[in-house]
Amino acid sequence: MRVVLLGPPGAGKGTHAGIVTETCKIPHISTGDMFRAAIKNGTPVGLEAKSYMDKGELVPDSVVCKMVEERISEADCANGFLLDGFPRTMAQAKALDAALAAKGQKIDLVINLQCSDEVVLGRLTTRRVCRTCGAIYNVNSKPPKVEGVCDVDGGEVYQRSDDTVETITNRLSVYKAQTAELIDYYKGNGVLRDVKADVNKDETASAIRSLL
């Protein structure tokens, strides 16, 4: 099963990815996580991505597409994968389709997480993340048991540098200008399923389960 998680920043892509990967036994491929790892390791891709990410802009298609195409060619993706944060532009969606078509493959399901700007803004300004394992917390609704310490692995729980009001606002306009059109593209391919993501977490989780 080859699945794409679509939705604005803060819709809950990272939060709900685990349901899909555990149910379908497929790897989770988050381009945002890959870039953050590249920045941490000081790789050339990381150095290039950082300037865009800090402003809430998109990393150039050529960089992202190459990185994803290499990743989905790895052995653990033979039976499928979950893409989170990719594709984000029409050019990326078309490059992905072409890369898959060359192997006789296609995207089977696109889960479109629908969430209002207001909810997104509220969630992202209060979001915190574990620096080592990526576990997601929220200062209001899901704080770690000990402040600043991850419940899962004891890593540092921090605020992403792009989770500021200014950058979030920019990420939202980038989503509307460049990513939202993918909804119609995948609807046209007959693979898009809408899921309400501004309701409570369990409701969203069970709607996702019912699609798998």
In the set 171, 192, 207, 208, which binds ligand ADP (CB under 6 A)?
171
Least Å distance between CB 59 and ligand ADP? Answer: 4
Smallest distance, Å, CB 58 to ligand ADP?
Answer: 4
What lies within 8 Å, CB to CB, of 112 at 6+ separation is 6, 7, 183, 186, 192, 193, 194, 195
Select from 4, 15, 21, 56 the one that contacts ligand ADP (CB under 6 A).
Answer: 56
Q: Which stretch binds ligand ADP (CB under 6 A): 28-36, 108-116, 131-139, 185-193?
A: 28-36
Q: Are 183 and 195 in contact (CB under 8 A)?
A: no
Nearest-angstrom CA–CA distance, 189 and 107: 9
Which tokens go with 146?
């000990």
Min CB(25)–ligand ADP separation in Å:
23
- Specify whether 88 is catalytic: yes
Q: Which is nearer to ligand ADP, 57 or 69 (CB)?
A: 57
**Shortest CA distance to 110 belongs to which of 12, 195, 8?**
195
Q: CA 23, 212, 86: angle at the middle one, nearest 5?
A: 85
Site residues for ligand ADP per CB under 6 A: 9-10, 13, 31-32, 35, 52-53, 56-59, 64, 85-86, 88, 92, 162, 171
